[in-house]
Amino acid sequence: MIQYLLVEDEYFAAEEIKRMIQKLRPNYQMAGQTGSVDETVSFLRHTPVELIILDIRLSDGTSFEIFEQIPVDAPIIFTTAYDEYALQAFQVHSIHYLLKPVEETELETALYRFEQNNRLLPASTQYKKLEEQLWKSNKKNRFLVQTGDTYQYVETGKIAFFYSEEKCVFLHTFADKRYIVDYPLEQLEQMLDEKMFFRVARNCITNIKAINKISKYFAGRFKLDFEPKCPHEVLVSRNRATDFLKWVDDIPY
Protein backbone atom coordinates (compact mmCIF):
# COMPACT_ATOMS: atom_id res chain seq x y z
CA MET A 1 0.00 0.00 0.00
CA ILE A 2 1.40 3.37 -1.06
CA GLN A 3 1.35 6.05 1.64
CA TYR A 4 1.05 9.54 0.14
CA LEU A 5 0.92 13.11 1.40
CA LEU A 6 -1.38 15.63 -0.27
CA VAL A 7 -0.22 19.25 0.01
CA GLU A 8 -2.93 21.57 -1.28
CA ASP A 9 -4.40 24.76 0.21
CA GLU A 10 -7.48 24.88 -2.02
CA TYR A 11 -10.34 22.84 -0.54
CA PHE A 12 -12.11 21.84 -3.73
CA ALA A 13 -8.86 21.03 -5.54
CA ALA A 14 -7.81 18.79 -2.65
CA GLU A 15 -11.15 17.02 -2.53
CA GLU A 16 -11.07 16.38 -6.28
CA ILE A 17 -7.55 14.92 -6.15
CA LYS A 18 -8.50 12.65 -3.26
CA ARG A 19 -11.61 11.47 -5.11
CA MET A 20 -9.65 10.65 -8.26
CA ILE A 21 -6.90 8.80 -6.39
CA GLN A 22 -9.51 6.75 -4.53
CA LYS A 23 -11.01 5.81 -7.91
CA LEU A 24 -7.75 5.21 -9.78
CA ARG A 25 -5.67 3.69 -6.97
CA PRO A 26 -7.91 2.34 -4.18
CA ASN A 27 -4.82 0.69 -2.69
CA TYR A 28 -3.20 4.11 -2.05
CA GLN A 29 -3.66 5.53 1.43
CA MET A 30 -3.46 9.21 2.26
CA ALA A 31 -1.10 9.52 5.20
CA GLY A 32 -1.90 13.19 5.67
CA GLN A 33 -3.03 16.45 4.13
CA THR A 34 -1.40 19.86 4.63
CA GLY A 35 -1.96 23.30 3.14
CA SER A 36 1.09 25.34 4.04
CA VAL A 37 4.87 25.24 4.10
CA ASP A 38 5.00 25.11 7.90
CA GLU A 39 2.42 22.32 8.17
CA THR A 40 4.22 20.27 5.53
CA VAL A 41 7.63 20.65 7.14
CA SER A 42 6.19 19.65 10.53
CA PHE A 43 4.43 16.62 9.03
CA LEU A 44 7.45 15.35 7.10
CA ARG A 45 9.73 15.66 10.12
CA HIS A 46 7.75 12.92 11.83
CA THR A 47 5.98 10.93 9.11
CA PRO A 48 7.71 9.23 6.17
CA VAL A 49 5.71 8.86 2.95
CA GLU A 50 6.34 7.20 -0.39
CA LEU A 51 4.80 9.90 -2.59
CA ILE A 52 3.98 13.60 -2.25
CA ILE A 53 1.41 15.41 -4.37
CA LEU A 54 2.51 19.00 -3.95
CA ASP A 55 0.97 22.31 -4.98
CA ILE A 56 3.60 24.92 -5.89
CA ARG A 57 1.76 27.93 -4.44
CA LEU A 58 0.78 27.46 -0.80
CA SER A 59 -0.93 29.72 1.71
CA ASP A 60 2.35 30.88 3.27
CA GLY A 61 4.81 30.70 0.38
CA THR A 62 6.03 28.35 -2.34
CA SER A 63 6.61 24.65 -1.89
CA PHE A 64 10.29 25.16 -2.74
CA GLU A 65 10.72 26.61 0.75
CA ILE A 66 9.99 23.16 2.18
CA PHE A 67 13.18 21.77 0.68
CA GLU A 68 15.20 24.57 2.23
CA GLN A 69 14.16 23.43 5.69
CA ILE A 70 14.23 19.63 5.51
CA PRO A 71 15.54 16.92 3.16
CA VAL A 72 12.76 15.34 1.09
CA ASP A 73 13.49 11.98 -0.49
CA ALA A 74 10.00 10.96 -1.61
CA PRO A 75 9.13 11.37 -5.31
CA ILE A 76 6.90 14.35 -5.98
CA ILE A 77 4.04 15.05 -8.34
CA PHE A 78 3.77 18.83 -8.61
CA THR A 79 0.47 20.55 -9.24
CA THR A 80 0.59 24.00 -10.79
CA ALA A 81 -1.48 26.63 -12.56
CA TYR A 82 1.54 27.84 -14.57
CA ASP A 83 1.78 27.69 -18.33
CA GLU A 84 3.07 24.87 -20.48
CA TYR A 85 6.60 26.29 -20.73
CA ALA A 86 7.16 25.99 -17.02
CA LEU A 87 5.70 22.52 -17.09
CA GLN A 88 8.06 21.46 -19.84
CA ALA A 89 10.95 22.61 -17.69
CA PHE A 90 9.71 20.46 -14.83
CA GLN A 91 9.51 17.47 -17.11
CA VAL A 92 13.09 17.92 -18.26
CA HIS A 93 14.19 17.52 -14.66
CA SER A 94 12.26 14.24 -14.29
CA ILE A 95 9.58 15.69 -12.00
CA HIS A 96 5.96 14.68 -12.46
CA TYR A 97 3.42 17.45 -12.74
CA LEU A 98 -0.27 18.10 -13.08
CA LEU A 99 -1.73 21.22 -14.63
CA LYS A 100 -4.69 22.68 -12.76
CA PRO A 101 -7.52 21.97 -12.99
CA VAL A 102 -6.30 18.38 -12.67
CA GLU A 103 -7.67 15.95 -15.24
CA GLU A 104 -8.19 12.32 -14.33
CA THR A 105 -6.26 11.05 -17.36
CA GLU A 106 -3.28 13.25 -16.45
CA LEU A 107 -3.32 12.02 -12.87
CA GLU A 108 -3.38 8.44 -14.14
CA THR A 109 -0.33 9.16 -16.30
CA ALA A 110 1.54 10.74 -13.40
CA LEU A 111 0.77 7.86 -11.07
CA TYR A 112 1.83 5.35 -13.70
CA ARG A 113 5.14 7.16 -14.17
CA PHE A 114 5.66 7.18 -10.42
CA GLU A 115 5.07 3.45 -10.24
CA GLN A 116 7.40 2.74 -13.15
CA ASN A 117 10.19 4.85 -11.75
CA ASN A 118 9.77 5.38 -8.03
CA ARG A 119 13.46 5.97 -7.44
CA LEU A 120 13.64 9.55 -8.58
CA LEU A 121 16.44 11.78 -7.32
CA PRO A 122 15.60 13.38 -3.97
CA ALA A 123 13.50 16.47 -4.52
CA SER A 124 15.84 18.47 -2.30
CA THR A 125 18.57 18.13 -4.95
CA GLN A 126 16.32 19.44 -7.72
CA TYR A 127 14.22 22.23 -6.26
CA LYS A 128 16.72 24.97 -7.05
CA LYS A 129 16.64 24.09 -10.75
CA LEU A 130 12.86 23.94 -10.64
CA GLU A 131 12.66 27.30 -8.89
CA GLU A 132 14.95 28.82 -11.51
CA GLN A 133 12.79 27.49 -14.33
CA LEU A 134 9.66 28.74 -12.61
CA TRP A 135 11.18 32.17 -12.13
CA LYS A 136 12.13 32.37 -15.80
CA SER A 137 8.68 31.27 -16.88
CA ASN A 138 7.09 33.86 -14.65
CA LYS A 139 8.57 36.89 -16.44
CA LYS A 140 6.09 39.50 -17.60
CA ASN A 141 4.81 38.99 -21.15
CA ARG A 142 2.84 42.22 -21.57
CA PHE A 143 2.11 45.57 -19.93
CA LEU A 144 -1.22 47.34 -19.60
CA VAL A 145 -0.98 50.98 -20.69
CA GLN A 146 -3.44 53.84 -20.85
CA THR A 147 -4.01 56.53 -23.47
CA GLY A 148 -6.69 58.94 -22.34
CA ASP A 149 -9.69 56.81 -21.39
CA THR A 150 -8.48 53.83 -23.42
CA TYR A 151 -6.51 50.85 -22.13
CA GLN A 152 -4.43 48.50 -24.24
CA TYR A 153 -1.62 46.05 -23.69
CA VAL A 154 1.86 46.11 -25.16
CA GLU A 155 3.70 42.84 -25.63
CA THR A 156 7.08 42.86 -23.91
CA GLY A 157 8.90 41.92 -27.11
CA LYS A 158 7.68 45.14 -28.72
CA ILE A 159 9.26 47.32 -26.03
CA ALA A 160 12.54 48.99 -26.98
CA PHE A 161 13.42 50.43 -23.58
CA PHE A 162 12.16 51.85 -20.31
CA TYR A 163 13.43 55.10 -18.84
CA SER A 164 12.65 57.41 -15.95
CA GLU A 165 12.10 61.10 -16.39
CA GLU A 166 10.69 63.70 -13.99
CA LYS A 167 9.56 61.06 -11.47
CA CYS A 168 7.75 59.04 -14.15
CA VAL A 169 8.74 55.76 -15.79
CA PHE A 170 8.07 55.46 -19.52
CA LEU A 171 7.69 52.41 -21.73
CA HIS A 172 9.02 53.18 -25.23
CA THR A 173 8.08 50.84 -28.08
CA PHE A 174 9.88 49.98 -31.30
CA ALA A 175 7.02 51.78 -33.04
CA ASP A 176 8.34 54.94 -31.33
CA LYS A 177 5.42 55.36 -28.97
CA ARG A 178 5.74 55.92 -25.26
CA TYR A 179 3.45 55.27 -22.30
CA ILE A 180 3.69 55.83 -18.56
CA VAL A 181 3.88 52.64 -16.49
CA ASP A 182 3.27 52.27 -12.76
CA TYR A 183 6.41 50.28 -12.01
CA PRO A 184 9.75 51.65 -10.76
CA LEU A 185 12.83 50.55 -12.71
CA GLU A 186 13.97 48.45 -9.74
CA GLN A 187 10.83 46.34 -9.98
CA LEU A 188 10.96 46.17 -13.77
CA GLU A 189 14.43 44.64 -13.54
CA GLN A 190 12.92 41.67 -11.70
CA MET A 191 9.95 41.36 -14.05
CA LEU A 192 11.84 41.30 -17.35
CA ASP A 193 13.76 38.50 -19.04
CA GLU A 194 17.41 39.18 -18.21
CA LYS A 195 18.56 37.75 -21.53
CA MET A 196 16.52 40.35 -23.39
CA PHE A 197 16.66 43.39 -21.07
CA PHE A 198 19.49 45.03 -19.13
CA ARG A 199 19.61 48.07 -16.89
CA VAL A 200 22.27 50.02 -18.71
CA ALA A 201 21.98 53.13 -16.55
CA ARG A 202 20.35 54.31 -13.36
CA ASN A 203 17.47 55.70 -15.40
CA CYS A 204 17.24 53.23 -18.31
CA ILE A 205 16.54 49.54 -19.06
CA THR A 206 16.98 48.52 -22.68
CA ASN A 207 16.00 45.69 -24.96
CA ILE A 208 19.10 44.20 -26.66
CA LYS A 209 17.40 44.69 -30.03
CA ALA A 210 17.10 48.44 -29.47
CA ILE A 211 20.86 49.01 -29.28
CA ASN A 212 22.05 50.36 -32.60
CA LYS A 213 25.59 51.38 -31.66
CA ILE A 214 27.99 51.07 -28.73
CA SER A 215 30.77 53.65 -28.51
CA LYS A 216 33.61 53.99 -26.04
CA TYR A 217 33.28 57.02 -23.80
CA PHE A 218 35.73 58.61 -21.41
CA ALA A 219 36.27 57.27 -17.85
CA GLY A 220 35.67 53.67 -18.94
CA ARG A 221 32.07 54.24 -19.93
CA PHE A 222 30.06 53.42 -23.05
CA LYS A 223 27.67 55.60 -24.98
CA LEU A 224 24.65 53.89 -26.50
CA ASP A 225 22.65 54.86 -29.57
CA PHE A 226 19.18 53.38 -29.74
CA GLU A 227 16.79 52.75 -32.60
CA PRO A 228 14.27 54.23 -32.06
CA LYS A 229 16.06 57.19 -30.52
CA CYS A 230 16.01 57.62 -26.77
CA PRO A 231 14.89 61.10 -25.59
CA HIS A 232 18.01 61.49 -23.47
CA GLU A 233 21.66 60.46 -23.59
CA VAL A 234 22.38 56.95 -22.27
CA LEU A 235 25.77 56.19 -20.76
CA VAL A 236 26.80 52.84 -19.32
CA SER A 237 28.84 53.54 -16.18
CA ARG A 238 32.20 51.98 -15.54
CA ASN A 239 30.67 49.89 -12.74
CA ARG A 240 28.16 48.36 -15.15
CA ALA A 241 30.49 48.10 -18.14
CA THR A 242 31.84 44.56 -17.56
CA ASP A 243 28.41 43.04 -16.91
CA PHE A 244 26.99 44.96 -19.85
CA LEU A 245 29.57 43.53 -22.27
CA LYS A 246 28.94 40.02 -20.96
CA TRP A 247 25.23 40.51 -21.48
CA VAL A 248 25.69 41.82 -25.02
CA ASP A 249 27.99 38.91 -25.83
CA ASP A 250 25.53 36.46 -24.16
CA ILE A 251 28.22 35.13 -21.81
CA PRO A 252 26.82 33.04 -18.89
CA TYR A 253 27.52 34.54 -15.49
What confidence score (pLDDT) does residue 79 get? 86
Lowest mean pLDDT among 7-11, 118-122, 173-177: 118-122
Predicted confidence (pLDDT) at residue 89 exceeds the cutoff of 80: no
Give tens-digit pLDDT for 168-203: 999 999 999 999 998 999 999 988 998 999 999 999
pLDDT of 121: 46
pLDDT greater than 60 at residue 226: yes
> Residue 167: is its pLDDT beyond 60?
yes
- Confidence label for 94 from pLDDT (cuts 50, 70 and 90): very low
* pLDDT mean over 145-167: 91
Please tell me the predicted confidence (pLDDT) of residue 32: 96
Model confidence at 85: pLDDT above 50? no
Model confidence at 63, pLDDT cuts 50, 70, 90, reads: confident
Mean pLDDT throughout 92-102? 68
Compute the C-alpha angle 236/238/240, nearest 5°: 60
Q: Band of the pLDDT at 123, cuts 50, 70, 90?
A: low
The whole-chain average pLDDT of the chain stands at 85
Side by side, the strands of the sheet bearing 168-173 are 178-181, 168-173, 159-165, 204-207, 197-201
The edge-to-edge listing of strands for the beta sheet with 3-7 is 29-34, 3-7, 51-55, 76-80, 96-99
pLDDT score for 118: 61
Q: How confident is the model at residue 147 (pLDDT cuts 50, 70, 90)?
A: confident
Query: What was the pLDDT predicted at 131?
Result: 53
pTM of the model: 0.50
